[in-house]
């Protein structure tokens, strides 16, 4: 019997996960299908009841359900519980277990770029759900410094206070971050600023970027945001959001199937899908 997997969100039509995962099911000759489900906020509880009834094998969770789904699950992985958000659910013998692969996927992608984190000075831009997952996972790797720049200090302070790992950290305004940018070895941009169609915007000025710094933006449409273009012009190493997207998906696929998938195949599929978008 064909196993059913999927992704829930609102909106969801833009998701590249179905193409990526269905390609993997074909590659590994698995009798399975991955389906996008457009679920509004008000229908989330009923949707999860429906998933239980039809025995869905696993699913991904995207905006705006990553936090709201938690009380509807049977169990949480400790990291997902600490982060307070779930992006992957596994059906284990009828028990729905929530995980968060966003932070782990991000770090795997960063390490794949030969960018070690230990003893580095890192600045996170933004304090949303993705920032929280990335912050906790980077903190576990032992950076020397892990600061957050955000428009509203309260959200950033909450992330630092909730982090289960002891780390030197402070909250910075945009102006303070720009003036002290030469401090940081790694800058991680986690907001939607610069995403298509608002491609002419950048979350901060990098006129004081440290020589040899690495700038990472989790946006992948466009493939090179204004922030990344400016960083490249200053000679910095850059990374877009493809790595995070692919690696978090690979972790979910392995949880569901026990197979560690071909990362380069996944990357190629996603880039092909993006080729059909206005980047």
Domains, the chain, ordered by start? 3-99+243-274 (3.40.50.10860), 103-239 (3.40.50.720)
Q: What is the mean pLDDT of the chain?
A: 95
Residue 129 has pLDDT above 90, yes or no: no
The phi-psi region of residue 197 (left if phi > 0; otherwise alpha if psi is between -120 and 50; otherwise beta) is alpha
- Taking 70 as the threshold, does the pLDDT of residue 96 lie above it? yes
Strands 214-217, 186-189: pairing is parallel
Percent of the chain having pLDDT more than 70?
99
Question: Is position 128 annotated in a ligand binding site?
Answer: yes
For residue 128, is pLDDT > 80? yes
- The H-or-E segment that residue 265 falls in is helix 263-274
Closest CA to 98 of 47, 58, 127, 136: 58
Residue 66 is a catalytic residue: yes
152 is in an annotated binding site: yes
Q: pLDDT grade, residue 206 (50/70/90)? A: very high
Residue-level pLDDT at 14: 87
Whether the CB-CB separation of 136 and 127 falls below 8 Å is answered with no
Please give the pLDDT value at position 227.
98
pLDDT in tens, 146-170: 999 999 999 999 999 999 999 999 9
1 is in an annotated binding site: no
DSSP code for 43: G
**Can you list the alpha helix ranges (DSSP code H) found in 113-237?**
129-140, 153-162, 174-179, 226-233
Does the annotation list 218 as a binding residue? Answer: yes
Q: Tell me which residue of 270, 239, 249 sits closest to 114, measured CA to CA.
A: 239
Residue 278, pLDDT > 70, answer no
The conformation of residue 85, written as its DSSP 8-state character, comes to: -
Catalytic entry in 49, 66, 118, 226: 66
Q: State the pLDDT at residue 168.
A: 97
Q: pTM for this structure?
A: 0.93
Q: Which residue has the tokens 């989330």?
A: 44
Are 128 and 190 spatial neighbours (Cβ–Cβ below 8 Å)?
yes
| pLDDT at 5 > cutoff 80 | yes
- How high is the pLDDT of residue 279? 36
Per-residue b or e along 135-174, where b marks 16 or more CB atoms closer than 10 Å to that residue's CB: bbbbbbbebebbbbbbeeeebbbebbeebeeebebebbee
pLDDT band for position 182 (cuts 50, 70, 90): very high
Position 275 scores a pLDDT of: 80
Q: Which helix (H) or strand (E) holds 172?
A: strand 171-172
């Amino acid at each position: 019997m064909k196993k059913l997997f999927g992704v829930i969100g609102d909106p969801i039509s833009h998701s590249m996960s179905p193409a990526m995962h269905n390609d993997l099911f074909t590659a590994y000759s698995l009798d399975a299908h991955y389906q996008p489900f457009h679920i509004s906020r008000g229908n989330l509880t009923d949707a999860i009841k429906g998933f239980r009834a039809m025995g869905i094998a696993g699913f991904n969770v995207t905006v705006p359900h990553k936090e709201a789904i938690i009380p509807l699950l049977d169990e949480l992985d400790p990291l997902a519980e600490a982060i307070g958000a779930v992006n992957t659910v596994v059906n284990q013998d009828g028990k729905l277990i929530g995980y968060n692969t966003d932070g782990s996927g991000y770090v795997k992608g960063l390490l794949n770029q030969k960018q070690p984190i230990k003893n580095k000075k890192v600045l996170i831009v933004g304090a949303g759900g993705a920032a929280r997952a990335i912050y906790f996972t980077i903190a576990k790797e032992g950076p020397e410094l892990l600061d957050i720049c955000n428009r509203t200090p309260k959200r950033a302070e909450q992330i630092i206070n909730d982090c289960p790992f002891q780390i030197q950290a402070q909250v910075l305004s945009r102006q303070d971050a720009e003036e002290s940018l030469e401090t940081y070895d790694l800058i991680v941009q986690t907001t939607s600023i610069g995403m298509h169609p608002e491609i002419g915007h950048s979350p901060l000025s990098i006129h004081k970027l440290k020589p040899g710094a690495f700038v990472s933006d989790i946006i992948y449409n466009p493939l090179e945001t204004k922030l990344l273009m400016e960083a490249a012009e200053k000679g910095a190493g850059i990374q877009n959001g493809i790595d995070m997207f692919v690696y978090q998906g690979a972790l979910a696929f392995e949880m569901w199937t026990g197979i560690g998938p071909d990362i380069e195949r996944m990357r190629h599929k996603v880039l092909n899908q993006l080729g059909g978008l206005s980047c």
